[in-house]
Every structure is written in C-alpha cells, then in structure tokens.
Structure 1
Amino acid sequence: MLTKSTTSAVEGEWALVLRRPSWSMVMIVLVLLVSLWMRLEYISGLDVKPISDMGDYDQRAVKLAEEGTFVTGQEHGATYRAPGYVLFLGGLYDLFGHKYRMVYGVQSLLSVATLFAIYLIGRRLFDSQVALLALLIGALYVPFIGYSGVLLTESLFLALFTYALYAFLCGAQDGKLSWYLLAGALFGLAALTRSVALLLPVIAVIWLMLAAKTVRLPRPTWGRLGLMALVMAAVIAPWTIRNAIEQQQFVLIDTTAGLNLLIGNNDYADGIFTEKIYDLPAFHNAMAGDKSDTERDAIMKDAGQAWILNNPGQFAGLTWQRFQMYLSAHKDWIADPYEWYRIPLYSKPFLARYQWTLMSLGLVGAVLACWRDRQALLPVLIAGYFLGTISIFFVQTRYQLPAMPFIILLAAYVLRYLWTSPRALVPIVAAVIGLSWWLEGLAAQYHVM
C-alpha cells in the first residue's frame, strides 16, 4: 500500500510530466493510444490454445483460482515456477473467469505502461528528447506487441521491473525515502515473477556508485537503500516461508535453475534447447522416484556445475556463442503459432533489420556511455546483466526481451547525440552499418534468423 509520502512523490512526478510542452504531451498520448489500439486489434482475433510453458502457467492458474492451491500433483510441483505470474493469472481467472482475451487485454495495458516507463526512465536519465525518441522506437518494436497475447511472464515482468528501476531513479535523484520503498516493493514483485530480477537492485547500486564516482555513498543514502532491501525481502519472504514448509528446505523463489543450467551445459549442448537433455543420466536420476522439486533441482544443478568445472574452455566458448546468438537473434518460434503476421508492423525482414539496428545502436551507445556519460551507464549495466546472465544457460529469443527497454534507451541516446554532434554522423553510421552486417552474419551462422 502506498504511504502518504509515496503518494505525494508520485503526484509530484505526474505534475512534472504534465508540465511538458503541449506538443510533446500530445505526441506521448497519441503514441500510447495507437500502441494500445495495435495490441487490442491484434488480440481481438487471436484464438490460440496455450501450449508448452503457456499451458503449464494456465493449468497452475486455473488450479489456484478453483482450489486455492499452488500444489500441482505433478512431477514439477509448486516451487518449480516463480509464483508471480501464476498469481496474476489466477487472480484474473477468479475475478473474470477463464478467458484468455481478458488476460491479453490486461497484458496489453501493461505493455503500453512499459512503453511509458521507458519514456519516464529516459527523461530521468537523459532528457525529454531522448525519452520521446525511446518511446517512439519502443512503440515500433513488434515483440512488445506480440507478447501481449501470450500466456507468459514477459508483459507483467517488464512492467514491474521497469517501474521498479524508475522508482529507484527517482529516489536516487530526489532523495525521498518513499521512492526507495516503492522501488523495493516493485523489485520484490518482479523477483517473484522472474527470479532473475533478484540482483537488479545490486546493479542499480553499482550504477549509483559509478555515477557518484565513489563507493562511499552518504550514510542517509545507505540507510534508504537498506530500507529498500528490507521491503523487497518482506515482499518475497511469505513465498520463501511457504516453500520451506512444503519442501523442508530453503527455496528462495523457484527451482528452475538446475534444469536450465543442465540444458545449456552438457556434452550435447550447442547453445539452444535440445531434447537430448532427456537422455542425460543426471536428468533421469533427477526425475526418477518420488523426489521433491528441491532435490531434482539440486541434482541437475550439481551436474551442470560439474560439467562447467570439468570443461571450462568449452563452457567459455559456449557462453560467448550464446551471447552472440542473443545479440543477433530475432526469430521467435512464438511468432507463427500466435499469428504475429496480423500485427500491422510485422514482417520477418522488418523485424530482423529493426532488431539488428537496435542492437547495433545499443552497442554504440554502450561505448558512448563509457566514454562520455556515467549517467548513461545504467542501461548499459542492466542490458548487459540480462544478456550476460541468460548466456550462461541456453538461447530462447524471448529471454532477451528484458534487455530491450535499455537497448532502446541507448539507441535513442545515440540518435540524440547525432543531432547535437553532427561531426559524429559518419563514424557512427558506419559503425552501425558494420555492426548490423556482423549481427546478420552471426544470425546466419548460428541459425537464429
């Protein structure tokens, strides 16, 4: 629940937004409304039954709504997945019935809210010009639209963690405790949706030190950061306690890391998911008998870690390969079964070129940030964290999505820099073209195009 001071901070922030020049406000509202219309138009004709992970989330949510339990009675139990998205779906099913389009409609609103969060972060980090450019670039990014109509964590997770970072930024710049408390609550909810968010506050604090050019932050700042961490822990704690009671072992959020680590790191691993995982002795051992989620996760995690320790060179090569695949990948298996062809902007050539151009601008932006602007290091660190972390496991195109709001911010930062520094036009354009060709070559080499 928002405190009075939190509410005042939020109201003050909205007052800043409303004081933007009228043409800018009209542009922002127009982009957001058109973005929402595109999503609603897309989902209005969507009639696809959930499959794969989508079906699992759907079944868990139905059980939660109808029986009030996370217990599945299946080999992958309650702790296998983080609870945030299951709670989200289950709550919607409980309120409105088992209606997919209703969920897609709510996710469309969250997706548009994420676009606005990109604008808000851009304005806080840079200025209103970069923010507006980032909003326009994000509005044209097809996967943001497409995942509004998929029963997966992406729309909810993107909204939670972008607003968490925005609240953190406001706290860091305004010094108000209420922003830090809000950031802690949102970071906690984001982590309960995707456990990869657990380290985001650490990345944000590292950026704060880099921006301040010192590790010795003022004592009041450390106090606010400590309270933010406590709020985040308080949000996560009930689920952790529930897990300990059920599993009789400590499980902070979920038990998927072991399987994902083993999928990406074994004798058959080539960067992507392969069904050869089912032939591995460690997988058979983990799934045999009546083991708990925690026991299965530990067996597969130990096997994955053992392979890494025994094959450090191969692991390093695989990780670099996966990182390159994430930089260049644009082909998403979701696109065909979920009818992305009905999205107005969608075409495979457009999606490929747009992805490669964004990534190229993002890489140039990372260099510019390191060279001339410590403030711009936040999107570099966040995007690098997501792309680096997922490169340890295996390549699934949707896993790059959390990095994209920050790639988009870096792209907008580069474009604004070109406007203010025309002399840089030729070298930066040449760099973007060269990087795009490199990414296209990687995509062809690794079959992710």
Structure 2
Amino acid sequence: MGYQEGGFPTAFWPVGYPALIGAATWLFGPTLFGPLLFNLIAQAATILLILWLARRLGAGEGAARLAALLYALYPAHIAYTGDTAAETTVTAVTLAGIALILKGRGGKSLGWAFLGGLVLGAAMLMRPQTMLLPPFLVGALWLSRGVDWRRALLLLVLIVAGMAVVVAPWTMRNRAVLGAPVLVSTNGGVALQAGANDLADGGYFQVEKSPLWAQVGIPFAERVPRQVEIDRRLKAMATDWIAAHPVRWGTLGMRKVALLWMKDGDAFWSLDASHPERETLWKIAQGVNQLFYMALLGLAAIGIGLAARAAWAGRQGAEMLVAGVMPLFCTALAFGFTGQTRYHYPAMPFVVILAAWVIARRLGEPSRAPAAMSGHDG
C-alpha cells in the first residue's frame, strides 16, 4: 500500500514519525505500548545526551548532572512522554546528531560529522525544517572559536552530505509517485502561509477553514491528489504577501517569537482530553510547569549572554555558545513560519544545560575546557 491517504500516495505529513509508529505497531500490535515504549527510550536517551553534551561543551560535571536532573523533573517533559507526538523522538534524534558532530569537531577524523549528518537526516524526515540547522550549528562552532573557517566549511559539507544520503531515497520516491521531487513533505506551503496572510495572528492558523482557501483555487476535497500543486500555490501566496507587506510581516514575526516562548502548556493537551475529570490537577500541573519553565528560560538567557561575552573575549566558556544554537534556531523558524508553543520543545535540553551552567557558576563550580579545545577527542 505504501504511504497513502484516501487511497492516494501522499507526502503531506513528514514520513519519519508515522514510520516509527508503524514499526511500533508491527512489533507490539495495535496498542499504545509500542509508541510509549519508544517515547521512554527517546527520553532516556535525551537525558544521557544532555549529560554528554554539557560535559563536552565544558559546563563542568556538576552542571552536567544538574542539567540532567532539571530535565528529568521538567513537567512538560514528563507529560510529553505519555503522548504519541513526534516531539520526544525528534528531540532525541536531533540531539544525537549534534552530539556526533561535536564529538569529531576538534579531532583528526571527520567521519563523525558525516555520521551526525546521517542522524540529522533521520530527524529531517520527521521535521523537514532540520535541513536549515547545520549552518546555525557550524556558525556557532566558528564563532565560539571551536573550529576555524576552513574546517567549519568542511564540517558543513559533510553534514549536508550525510543528510542527503538519508533523505534522497524518500525524495526519489516522491518524484516517482507525486510527479515532483518533493524533498520531504508537501506541507511547507501550509506552514509558510499560516504566518503570512491578512488573517494571521502569529499562532495556529488553518487556511483550509478560512476565506483564503478560495484563493488557492482547488477544492478541499482534492487536497490529497493535488497536494503538490496546492503546496506551490500556498508558497506563492505567502511570498507575494510578504513582498507586499514587509513591515507587517516583520511585526508579525516578532509576535510569533513571543508566542513561541511565552508559555509552555501544549504538552498537557492530551491529558486534558483523555482525563477531563482531573481538570483541576492538570491546571495545577500547568501552573507549576510554567513557573519552572520561566525560571529555566531566564537562567538560559543569562547563560547565552555569558557565553557570547566569553566568545567575544576569547575566554573559557565561549563554547557554551553552541548550546544557544537550538533556541536561536527555533526562534528563527517561528519568525518565518508560525509561533506555536510546542515548537520550542527541541530547544529545551539546551535551555536546561545553559540554566544549569549558570547555577553551577553561581555556586562556584568552575567550568572546564571542552575536549576539542584541548586537542583530543574525548
């Protein structure tokens, strides 16, 4: 049968997470056991990767352990573990790809960058926007003086090559069944147009339920067989609107960024729906989570400032700037597309690393030089 919707081949939703759910169902049957088991594995891997990344970036052993503890106690992290959503898996896979790239950045072997690219390619099949991450990551490595510009360019080429190896077969499949070389999915136009139209407020927007759908010129009932054409038309509508309203788009972009980071309650939606009789408990949990989240965010902002100052002065602590990549990346995506709260979730492991580093510094624990700075690959 293949990846289909209504009897037609599709690529509207990125294939990565549906494929994982399919594997879980094949292994464990049509129950929630398989997907939730995969969530637990992903969350355990995320905590281990937080430990490794914090140490690798020179945060110090105490900060690394504190970061892992903070993430384990993070209420939204706990809530997402019980939900069949892509956030937990894509976060773990993205962290693994970044860890592999960092492992080899200062050593003689460049194979780690290619391996990291392969893993980021898998993340891209779940979240196509991952394709834009490598320049942010490599740029931070260069700015933090972790690599020189020549090695930075080489790392970028190897990472992109690894991603291409993983994604290319799916792109070829799309060319064969959809008649167009769709890289991963056909929902890019929907995502872009959601944040670039006269009715947009920066948050969640469904063009198919708005008067704007008439401008697409294709009946909604034909959305699956004509998805490539719809994607192109929505992208054209969005880019035309941006060109006609650059100031308004910029202002809307700032609102999207505010919406992205302002609250942290999306993880609790599934609990509200599945256990409405415990509404009071979920509201208390959301309140506790929001306070916890805002504290982490404030500390992380201080950490990014400290890391940027260290990078400017060429002092120890500069490489913690790399931990700011994912928050910056999520912010840039929100500015360009949509400011839905859940899209900051992949940045939270790095937020807790930065927060823990600031706390450890305040308590007097010294940072250590990152492994690559000392000329070996630990």
Q: TM-score, normalised by structure 1?
A: 0.72
Cα displacement (A) at 1:223? 4.9
**Distance (whole Å) between structure 2 residues aligned to residue 181 and residue 338 of structure 1:** 42
- Structure 1 residues 89, 261: CA separation in 2 closer, same or farther (over 3 Å shift)? same
1:80 to 2:44 alignment: no
Contact 2:307 2:318 survives alignment (8 Å): yes
1:388 is matched with: 332
For 2:228, which of 263, 280, 294 is the aligned residue?
294
Contact 2:39 2:89 survives alignment (8 Å): yes
**Distance (whole Å) between structure 2 residues aligned to residue 81 and residue 344 of structure 1:** 30
**Distance (whole Å) between structure 2 residues aligned to residue 107 and residue 283 of structure 1:** 40
Contact 2:75 2:285 survives alignment (8 Å): no
Identity of aligned residues (%): 27
1:103 is matched with: 35
**Distance (whole Å) between structure 2 residues aligned to residue 235 and residue 286 of structure 1:** 35
What is the DSSP-based 3-state SS (H/G/I as helix, E as strand, rest coil) of the residue aligned with 1:217? helix
Superposed counterparts of 1:175-254, under 5 Å: 175-212=108-145, 215-218=148-151, 223=154, 225-254=156-185
**Distance (whole Å) between structure 2 residues aligned to residue 240 and residue 73 of structure 1:** 21
2:293 is matched with: 355
2:306 is matched with: 368
2:273 is matched with: 337
Structure 2: tracts of 5 or more residues without a match: 311-316, 367-378
- Structure 1 residues 237, 105: CA separation in 2 closer, same or farther (over 3 Å shift)? same
1:119 to 2:51 alignment: yes
Question: Cα deviation per residue 1:125-162 (whole Å; 9 max; x = unaligned)?
Answer: 02222211110111111121211222221111011000
* 1:256 aligned partner, one-letter code: N
**Distance (whole Å) between structure 1 residues aligned to residue 217 and residue 298 of structure 2:** 41
**Distance (whole Å) between structure 2 residues aligned to residue 242 and residue 251 of structure 1:** 9
Cα displacement (A) at 1:166? 0.7
What is the DSSP-based 3-state SS (H/G/I as helix, E as strand, rest coil) of the residue aligned with 1:268? coil
**Distance (whole Å) between structure 1 residues aligned to residue 347 and residue 70 of structure 2:** 14
Contact 1:387 1:403 survives alignment (8 Å): no
* 2:18 aligned partner, one-letter code: V
Contact 1:283 1:300 survives alignment (8 Å): no
**Distance (whole Å) between structure 2 residues aligned to residue 144 and residue 81 of structure 1:** 24
1:172 is matched with: 105
Contact 1:82 1:192 survives alignment (8 Å): yes
**Distance (whole Å) between structure 1 residues aligned to residue 73 and residue 296 of structure 2:** 11
For 1:416, which of 349, 356, 360 is the aligned residue?
360
2:26 is matched with: 94
- Structure 1 residues 413, 338: CA separation in 2 closer, same or farther (over 3 Å shift)? farther
* 2:136 aligned partner, one-letter code: I
What is the DSSP-based 3-state SS (H/G/I as helix, E as strand, rest coil) of the residue aligned with 1:175? coil
For 2:246, which of 312, 315, 336 is the aligned residue?
312
1:269 to 2:200 alignment: yes
Question: Cα deviation per residue 1:294-347 (whole Å; 9 max; x = unaligned)?
Answer: 111111111112111111111111111111122211232344125596999971
1:52 is matched with: none
- Structure 1 residues 175, 208: CA separation in 2 closer, same or farther (over 3 Å shift)? farther
What is the DSSP-based 3-state SS (H/G/I as helix, E as strand, rest coil) of the residue aligned with 1:158? helix
- Structure 1 residues 256, 401: CA separation in 2 closer, same or farther (over 3 Å shift)? same
Cα displacement (A) at 1:174? 3.4
- Structure 1 residues 225, 98: CA separation in 2 closer, same or farther (over 3 Å shift)? same
Contact 1:282 1:300 survives alignment (8 Å): no
Cα displacement (A) at 1:177? 3.4
Q: Give the superposed CA RMSD.
A: 2.6
Q: TM-score, normalised by structure 2?
A: 0.85
**Distance (whole Å) between structure 2 residues aligned to residue 249 and residue 241 of structure 1:** 9
Cα displacement (A) at 1:401? 0.3
Structure 1: tracts of 5 or more residues without a match: 1-66, 423-449
What is the DSSP-based 3-state SS (H/G/I as helix, E as strand, rest coil) of the residue aligned with 2:5? coil
**Greater RCO (CA < 8 Å, at least 6 residues apart):** 2
Cα displacement (A) at 1:284? 5.6
**Distance (whole Å) between structure 2 residues aligned to residue 399 and residue 301 of structure 1:** 21
Superposed counterparts of 1:58-77, under 5 Å: 67=1, 69-73=2-6
Contact 2:52 2:64 survives alignment (8 Å): yes
Contact 2:190 2:207 survives alignment (8 Å): no
Question: Cα deviation per residue 1:21-44 (whole Å; 9 max; x = unaligned)?
Answer: xxxxxxxxxxxxxxxxxxxxxxxx
Cα displacement (A) at 1:198? 0.9
- Structure 1 residues 305, 146: CA separation in 2 closer, same or farther (over 3 Å shift)? same
Cα displacement (A) at 1:251? 0.8
Question: Cα deviation per residue 1:255-301 (whole Å; 9 max; x = unaligned)?
Answer: 11111222222111112224575233345625427452211111111
Cα displacement (A) at 1:111? 1.1
Contact 2:201 2:252 survives alignment (8 Å): yes
- Structure 1 residues 86, 155: CA separation in 2 closer, same or farther (over 3 Å shift)? same
**Number of aligned residue pairs:** 352
Contact 2:265 2:341 survives alignment (8 Å): yes
- Structure 1 residues 334, 305: CA separation in 2 closer, same or farther (over 3 Å shift)? farther
- Structure 1 residues 174, 339: CA separation in 2 closer, same or farther (over 3 Å shift)? farther
Contact 1:282 1:303 survives alignment (8 Å): no
Question: Cα deviation per residue 1:155-211 (whole Å; 9 max; x = unaligned)?
Answer: 110110001111111011333334223212111101111111112222221122113
2:374 is matched with: none
For 1:406, which of 350, 355, 358 is the aligned residue?
350
**Distance (whole Å) between structure 2 residues aligned to residue 330 and residue 88 of structure 1:** 26
